[in-house]
Amino acid sequence: MNVPAAAPQRTDRAALLARLAEPREYDLAVIGGGATGLGVALDAATRGLRVVLVEAHDFAKGTSSRATKLVHGGVRYLEQRNFPLVREALRERRILLRNAPHLAQPLPFVVPAYRFWEKPYYGTGLVLYDLLAGKSALGRTRWLDTRALAARQPGLRTQGLRGGIEYWDGQFDDARMAIALARTAARAGALLVNYCAAVGLVREGGKVAGLRCEDRETGRSYAIKARCVVNAAGIWVDAVRRLPGRDEPADDAMLFSQGAHLVVPREFLPGDRALLVPRTRDGRVLFALPWMGRTLIGTTDTPRPRVELEPRPLAEEAAFLLGEAARYLARAPRAEDVSSAWAGLRPLVRPPGQASTKDVSREHVVRIAGDGLVTVAGGKWTTYRAMAEDVLDACLDAGLLRGAGRCVTAEHALVGAIAGRHSLGDAPGLRCYGSEQAFVQELPGADRPLGGGLTEAMVRFAARHEYARTVEDVLARRSRLLFLDAALAHGLAEAVGGILARETGADPRIDAFRELARSYSRWPAGASGSTSFSR
């Protein structure tokens, strides 16, 4: 699927805030600029509704930029016999890969077997996975002997190997997918503003009738009237439910589970396939993926007591990931090999009674309170589009919205979509811009590389067309250098900040980013091989 290379829209902040100040009533106001909120905004805008979205930080600042970079049907959910969730995710996987082929691609996985029962057990499950996918299948599952598996996956420990299975799933760039969603929604007519926090809800006749928000750069407040308000704030869902302007009590609806990730050089797992270990020593799942010229190792499932804007891997999580990687890779990565360590919090809907976060369903929930506030919680990146469709349908069924057309997002390509063979395993570059590559190359600085595949022109494009305001926006989410190589990102802060300051006239927050980059390269307290730098 290709999107015609129309000139990219400008994201001039003064113009966006001027629109926000206009006295108008929206059909829908969305709080939260992660995968879910952006999906809701796009669905509503393409149904012909008047839409505004506000995000307190940058788009995808939270969980939505910290995924394991997989578009998957949920192999792990097969053991739980949650077949409806697997079917839905497999269908949505196919749609996502089709609508954003420049940001998401099929990826082959290998599952090694070191015990006699693993190959038939996991192989049978993965054949069922193919059957559930049906026409959405990305490739055929293969049973492999030891020699064939070792040939397909260089870097795998061969001692005791009894063969294994190859199957297919998807991989994507989560943060850039979020930016593409924002820009596609804006192209459909929605108004989206980052760094604009919802600080209260407006009530009329006992019902939520809008929100109050505050520009975090100037401190200016805005009142937004809307027939329907959707709380899609991810890990901050409970905080939004308690905003001033509500009379209804709001108990804690969410649990939090942390997923930690380590990035090491590509030579630890060369080739173009990913490694999946379905059951580690403590029952978790381990992935090792080719990602943008590096190898990404994850993830964990650690209960956390509260929301954190910048969650950090715990010492025991880092030790677990390195220890498990050493069991399956021929060359074991060490602490000093890690170029970036990061974590994200999964927002999980709290079930009745007590349950471990590993046992809590990843399915989403849509709830409409007595005062009309709509809250969507849970879910995962792969099913963001289906979640958004459920939210809009629930709003229509409840009479909160009227005059909307049918959902068309299953056939709506995202900005930049261009067909062709891509690999997210390759080093970062122009690939992620898809059909807009020529526009990037036309900007000043296209021939001036900064490092890590980033050019001056890419920074200008981020500022002019991708809502970027700070060095972190560029180096963490418009490019992924912070998540790939924290030391390199730290070293580029000054150059990127200078370009941003000239483009936006705003403070690019260079020093704040440098401190953040140090934390991505620093090991948690108690972990061996702790490193830091002070450039």
pLDDT higher than threshold 70 for residue 147: yes
The domain total for the chain is 3
The percent of residues above 90 in pLDDT, for the chain, comes to 83
* Mean pLDDT, all residues of the chain: 92
- Do 35 and 49 fall within a single domain? yes
Asked if residue 204 and residue 275 are part of one domain, the reply reads no
What's the pLDDT at 3?
Answer: 54
In sequence order, the 6+-apart residues with CB closer than 8 A to the CB of 173 are 69, 103, 104, 424, 432, 480
166 and 264: one domain? yes
- Answer whether residue 326 shows pLDDT above 50: yes
Quick one: 183 and 111 in the same domain?
no
d(CA 426, CA 404): 41
In this predicted structure, the answer to whether residue 76 has a pLDDT above a threshold of 90 is: no
For residue 243, give Cα distances in angstroms to 83, 126, 192, 290, 308. 37, 45, 20, 42, 18
Q: DSSP assignment, residue 431?
A: G
Residues 276 and 317 placed together within one structural domain of the fold: yes
* Single pTM value for the model: 0.95
The length of the chain in residues reads: 535
Could you tell me if residue 225 is inside a domain?
Answer: yes
Which one has a higher pLDDT value, 429 or 207? 207
437 and 502 in a single domain? The answer is yes
* 99: in domain: no
Tokens of 350: 């709290």
Look at residues 307, 333, 352 and tell me which one is the last residue of a structural domain: 352
Question: What is the tens place of the pLDDT at every residue in 409-430?
Answer: 999 999 999 876 667 877 788 9
Q: What is the pLDDT of residue 525?
A: 42
**7 has a pLDDT exceeding 60:** yes
Is residue 335 within 8 Å of 322, Cβ to Cβ? Answer: yes
User: What confidence score (pLDDT) does residue 253 get?
Assistant: 83
3-state helix, strand, coil in the chain (%, to 5): 40, 25, 40
- For residue 531, name the pLDDT band (cuts at 50, 70, 90): very low
Nearest-angstrom CA–CA distance, 445 and 10: 18
| pLDDT above 90 for 372 | yes
Please give the pLDDT value at position 524: 53
Find the domain containing 516 and state its range: 430-521
